[in-house]
Structure 1
């Protein structure tokens, strides 16, 4: 058995099995138990290097167990590092972790994770994923390691040392033309999300704003909706200028009136009194419509409208902008109606389509779409 000193610590290295074992002497804990963490290797030199690394970690306050993996690190972050985040955001992150991160680098020991391994992982995923998704999964790993750093489980954040490669081009957003928009509305007339589709298409509100809309923010008599919240962290709208009051076109008022009558009958039957703070768009069981439910129903509408299923609800907003632009509404007014902070944002986000009570949008939509009688 060889005795060595590593800094101020005494250690012993001895043959064991087909290799060598090194034990670092750290004295005794509060219960009088001897502390001798061990490291194994094929040669004395390898064991000594591991003991030196162990001492460096001890002096830096690092407390990671030898078997602590990237997957363990990310799971700790998912459990404790996302407080205050929206449930939908957490679900999205978990899905990316399960499908894009842990199957590839999850088993690597966190302390052994290298920049080269992260580069290889990102390069491999770049063959299938969009640049946006690549940036997000890289960010998740970086967030998780930073969380581990704060808990003294790793010294450096190796994810900050790598660059994200270019991925596959994502599907660009598109807009319904007038004929397609009419077909979608007519296909939606028998759908449980009829009013949702019509309001989003004819008012241009964001889908997360529509999902968060409550009856306290709807004025049927005035024909307006107040966009004061969104299904985001803390319920805030995307930007301060996104808080706006919009005039609703007649067809939108008509479908909101239908929902309001049904809601009034429901409150009467249940004896509910006081201000109605319920969500406007709810399922049959009374729960608010979530993004997955709306996505599924909208695909059915798109299919029934004959435009295929490769559409998503947020493209109703793109279509709103496109239709206003096609009917000579100035970009400054479009920016105000849709809640953008500037025309630059509108031009950037809707460069192919070109926001509060704002009346102009409702007037134009009343000319484009005429509500059905009854």
Structure 2
């Protein structure tokens, strides 16, 4: 096999000229090539993945040269110092975690090959990356999105009803497209939904959602129906709406409404939860409405609300 790391390039940030790579000790260079061969032949990894591992391992090997240490002699303290220096130099926690993943894979291989007796990455924890905050659109953007479908047309009326229900009840898209007529009780204003793990929950519907669902069921749904079915939301062919089809529709309506944030059905679910928290809804109530098993999952929306407040403060306060 050829050298899988030979294609990597290093360029200067300003003049973009090629910079010569530091030379590795022959033992370390040979070791990386043997590791690459094993990952390609034994593990079946792609050349792209192997090159990525090689680049990360080379960084580590170069860093070890300053203390006259080779890859096989590295200790836990060397790994910790390397990761710490990368973060100090501006690497993100996610990048540091990727570096550690490469080191773990390499030293696990060294251990199997009996090249070392202890794995220096065994007791090293991954840098905490935290949970990324979900994308949220504003209440005014939601209003623009809801008004985008042409409710005078059957498909537009269907889309408006689906969007109103998605935002008004915080449904998952799978729950939305899987709804049947008997799951929606318009008289009592509640909806019965089966979420993840087939867990059942009752969700109250607001007056606006009830109004649009009533209009859809009395006007558009009979026109879209081809055969007898209990599916609530139908495609233009009379079949059940799919998740992919609705994703396409919501994206098109978002473009029509002038919303720049990339939209998906889950963005509206996030908006439902965040806007409730913004209006002082009890977090446990939001948890029940979303169907979360653990309150910790729901608590992320308090962070979203906090970030929104910080953003507004920075934008509008003279001392922001």
Question: What's the secondary structure of 1:345's corresponding residue?
Answer: helix
Q: Distance in 1 between matches of 2:180 and 2:284?
A: 28
> Secondary structure, in 3 states, of the residue corresponding to 2:241?
coil
Q: Which has the larger radius of gyration?
A: 1
Q: Using the alignment, how far apart are the partners of 1:263 and 1:114 within structure 2?
A: 50
1:298 alignment counterpart: 250
2-side partners of 1:284 and 1:210: how far apart?
17
> Could you say which residue in structure 2 is the equivalent of 1:56?
none
Q: CA deviation at 1:247?
A: 1.2
Q: More strand by proportion, 1 or 2?
A: 1
Partner residue, 1:217? 183
**Counterpart secondary structure, 2:239:** coil
Matches of 1:326 and 1:170, distance apart in 2: 20
Partner in structure 1 of residue 144 of structure 2: 183
**Quick check: 1:174 aligned with 2:156?**
no
Separation of aligned partners in 1, 2:142 and 2:222: 30
1:238 partnered with 2:238: no
Residue 77 of structure 2 corresponds to residue 120 of structure 1: no
> Who is 1:90 aligned against?
none
* Root mean square deviation of aligned Cα: 4.3
Deviations 1:209-252 (A, max 9, x none): 11111112111222221102xxxxxxxx3246x52011111111
For the residues of structure 1 that align with 2:202 and 2:139, how far apart are their CA atoms? Answer: 25
TM-fit CA distance, 1:331: 0.7
Task: Specify the SS of the correspondent of 2:164.
Answer: helix
User: Counterpart of 1:227 in 2: which secondary structure?
Assistant: strand
Does the CA contact (< 8 Å) of 2:133 and 2:304 recur in 1?
A: no
Structure 2 segments unaligned to the other structure (5+ residues): 1-35, 56-93, 102-120, 307-320
Structure 1: tracts of 5 or more residues without a match: 1-104, 125-130, 139-161, 229-236, 355-374
Q: Give secondary structure in 2 for the equivalent of 1:352.
A: helix
In 1: Cα distance, 2:241 partner to 2:262 partner: 21
CA, structure 1 residues 169+333, in 2 after alignment: closer, same or farther (shift >3 Å)? closer
Q: Structure 1 residues 298, 115: closer, same or farther in 2, change over 3 A?
A: closer
Say if 1:177 and 1:264 are closer, same or farther in 2 by CA, change over 3 A.
same
**Please, which of 201, 207, 210 is the counterpart of residue 253 of structure 1?**
210
1:327 maps to 279
Residues 260 and 123 (structure 1 numbering): CA distance in 2 closer, same or farther, change over 3 Å? farther
Deviation at 1:171, TM superposition (A): 8.2
Matches within 5 A, 1:273-292: 276-278=229-231, 280-292=232-244
Check if 1:206 corresponds to 2:172.
yes
What TM-score do you get using the length of structure 2 for normalisation? 0.52
Whole-angstrom distance in 1 between the partners of 2:270 and 2:43 = 46
The question of whether the paired residues in 2 share the 8 Å contact of 1:318 and 1:350 is answered with: no
- The DSSP-based 3-state class of the residue aligned with 2:275 is helix
Aligned residues: 205
Q: Work out whether residues 175 and 353 of structure 1, in 8 Å CA contact, stay in contact via their aligned partners in 2.
A: no
Cα deviation for residue 260 of structure 1 reads 2.0
Equivalent residue for 1:312?
Answer: 264
Q: Does 1:193 align with 2:186?
A: no
Corresponding residue for residue 295 of structure 2: 343
Say whether the 8 Å CA contact 2:221–2:234 is kept in structure 1: no
Aligned partners of 1:123, 1:251: CA distance in 2, in Å? 57
1:157-176 CA-to-partner distances (Å, cap 9, x unmatched) read xxxxx99x99x999853222
1:188 and 1:197 in contact (8 A); partners too? no
